[in-house]
Structure formats: C-alpha cells, structure tokens
Structure 1
Amino acid sequence: MTRPKQERAVRTREAILMAAAEVFDEYGYSAAGVSKILQRAGVTQGAMYFHFKSKEDLGRAVLVEQASTLALPAEPAGLQQLIDLTLYLGLELQRNVLLRAGVRLAVEQGEAGLQDFTVYRWWIDRFRAELEVAGRRGDLLPQVDALEFARVLVASFTGTQLMSHLESGRESLPSEISVLWGYLLPGIATPGALARLTVDVERAKAML
C-alpha cells in the first residue's frame, strides 16, 4: 500500500505544480490566488498545504523547478551545443508552461516577494560548462572568460526573451536569439570555430 500512496502523492504534487505554473504564467504572481490554483489542479486546500506550505513556497518551487521537464543534453559538448541549447530554450518558452512561468517569476521576484538567485546561478553554471569544453578545444578567443561570458549570455537571453514576450508573445524569440548570437559569436569564437558553427533553429527543433 505504501508505493501506491507515494505515487499518488507524487502525481498530486505534480498536478499542483503544473496548475500553479499555468496560473502564474497567465495572471502573474500577485493575481494568482490560491483558489485559482486549487481549482485548476482539482485538489483540496489540505492537499496543497501538505506539499507546499504557502503560495510563496509554491512560487519558489515553480521558479527552481522550471527546467525539470526539459530534455537537456546529458553532457556539455561546446559552443555548437550551447547555441542549439539557447535556441531550444527559445522554442520551449513558446510551449512549456512550467519553464515560462519559472522564467516569469525569476524576472518578477520583487512582486512575488522572492529573492532567489539560485535559478540564474544554475543556468550560468550550465552555460559555463559548455564554454569550458569549447575553451579546452581551442574554440574560444584567449581573452574569453567562461564564467564571465556565461553571465553575459544568461543576462542577454533573459532580456531578449522578455522583450520578445512583450512584443510578440515570444513568437519572434528563436529569430531574436539567432540575431543575438550573430553579434556575440565574433567576440568569443576563433575564426576556425566560426567557420564550423551554425545558428539554426531547425537543429534546435530536433531537440524537442
């Protein structure tokens, strides 16, 4: 009997988390009432508070677990994979509500009463790992610091997706990311690497 109960608890938590993501994404944190989340999830208040102590706790979970449903590469592989990954994230932001809500909460942390850099640090580390592989392969210019550029890329990606969201509901995001790389790559990649690299949305779609 223990395992069915555990499995049911896991499913209930997932249902609450996804319902919260949908409501946060649709209404924003402040307007996302607990009653809306409960109704969307089809669970009782007691079930929610068994898994999440408060609305703030639920918001933090959506923020931190935003990447949990993504099909991310198992190992870092260098600049091409980093380019493909950012394009893949752009496509996922068009359809993945947990990622979209997590990104929105990350940007709107003041409104949500949160002060958590964890998710930004996670993405910085993820991007840095790809850059470190590129550096070992000799694909980066000598002056490029992997950590510094990873921070620049996360900040640039965050701003790009926010502007695309406001302008086109993120419809333009993959093409905007492609433009971003067009300006960034000459500043970090060696001429030999530039000749091999491709910024191709179709490649990223294969990751979906």
Structure 2
Amino acid sequence: MAGLKQDRALRTREAILRAAAETFDELGFHGASISMIMGRAGVTQGGMYFHFASKVELARAVMLAQGDYVQLPPGEDGLQRLIDITFHVGRELQQNVLFRAGVRLAVEQGEFGLQDDTAYQQWVEQFHALLVVARERGELLPGVDEREFAQVLVGAYSGTQLFSQIATGRVDLLERVAALWKYLLPCIATPQTLAQLRATPR
C-alpha cells in the first residue's frame, strides 16, 4: 500500500514538473501562474502544495532538473564527443520543451529572486570531464587549462543560444554553434587533432 502511494506521489510530481516546464517555456516565470500549471497537470491545490510550496520553488526545481531531460549521445570521450554534445544540446533546445524551460528559467532567475549557478556548473563538470580525457589523448595544446576552458565554453555557449533565441527563435542555433567551434578549436586543439575533428552538425 505504501509503495502504491509513493508511486502515485512520484507520478504526480512528474506531472507537475512537466506542466510547469511547458507553461514556463511558453509564458516565462511572470506569465505563468500556479493555477495554469495545476490545470495542465490535472492536480488539486493540495496535490500541488504537497510537492512545491511556491511558484519560485517549482521554478527552481524545473531549472535544476534541466540536465535530467537530456540524454547525451554515446561516443568515445574526448574533443569530438564534446563537440557532438554541443550540437546535440542545440537540437534539444530546439525540440525539447522540458529542457528548454529549465534553460529559460536559469537565464531569467534574477527576476524571481534567485542567484543559483548550479545548472551552469553541472555543464562545466560534464565538459571538464571530456576535456580531461582529451588531454590524456594528446588532443589539447599545452597551454589549455581544462577547467578554465570548460567555464569559457559554457559561458560562450549560453550567450550563443540566447542570441539565437532572441534573433531567430533558435532556428539558426546549430549554425551559430558551428561558428563558435570554428574560432575556438584552433585555440585548443593540436594541429593533428584539428585535422581529424568534425565541427558541423550531423
């Protein structure tokens, strides 16, 4: 019996998060309301507030869960996989409303009183791990600091996707990511590695 209640509670929480993500993606934090989210999720006020005490708490949960909504593509770790992941993330931003909502809220969070870089740091850690492998494989130039470049890449990518979202609704995002790599790769990859890398979307 307890197991059934727990399963039902988990399903309710997931339904609320999905409904919240869809609503925040469409309307932003200020445009969305708890009543809209409740209606879309099909839950009562009691069900909503059992899981989330406020709209801010719900927005933070969607923001921090963004990585859970993206399954990274397989591949051998190193620079090529890092590049492939950035194109994959671009496609997810174009198509995956749950992920897109988390990214939007991470950008807008100052509007609702948060200053939480956890989501950004999670991507830094993902990229850093791939760069460490790239170093072990001899793919990086001697002066490249893996953690510093991971932070630079997250910052540059965040700005690129935001510019694309404002300019074209992210229609041209993959082309902008390709342009980003066109200028970044010669600064970090050895000439031998650079000649073997593919820095365009599949």
TM-score range, shorter chain: over 0.9
Q: C-alpha displacement at 1:74, in angstroms? A: 7.1
Q: Distance in 1 between matches of 2:74 and 2:3?
A: 29
2:30: which partner in 1? 30
Q: TM-score normalized by structure 1?
A: 0.94
**What's 1:81 paired with?**
81
* SS in structure 2 of the partner of residue 115 of structure 1: coil
- Matches of residues 99-114 of structure 1 in structure 2 within 5 Å? 99-114=99-114
Q: Take 2:122 and 2:74, find their aligned partners in 1: how far apart are those partners? A: 15
Change (3 A) 1:75 1:30: same
TM-score normalised by structure 2 residue count: 0.96
Task: Quote how far apart the aligned CAs of 1:3 are.
Answer: 2.0
Partner residue, 1:173: 173
Judge conservation of contact 1:76–1:130 (CA < 8 Å) in 2: no
Q: Which amino acid aligns with 2:34?
A: V
Higher helix share: 2
RMSD, aligned CA: 1.3
Deviation at 1:2, TM superposition (A): 2.0
> Which residue of 1 is the match for residue 197 of structure 2?
197
Q: What residue number does 1:128 align with?
A: 128
Which runs of 5 or more residues in structure 1 are unaligned?
203-208
Q: In 2, distance between residues paired with 1:129 and 1:74?
A: 15
Question: Are the aligned partners of 1:186 and 1:194 in contact in 2 as well (CA < 8 Å)?
Answer: yes
Query: Following superposition of structure 1 onto structure 2, how do residues 41-52 of structure 1 map, counting pairs within 5 Å?
Result: 41-52=41-52
Distance 1:112 1:188 in 2: 38
Which gives a bigger RCO, structure 1 or 2 (Cα 8 Å, sep 6+)?
A: 1
**Are the equivalent residues in 2 in contact too, given 1:105–1:112 (CA < 8 A)?**
no
Separation (CA, whole Å) in 1 of partners of 2:191 and 2:18:
44
SS at match of 2:26: helix
Partner of 1:57: 57
Identity %: 57
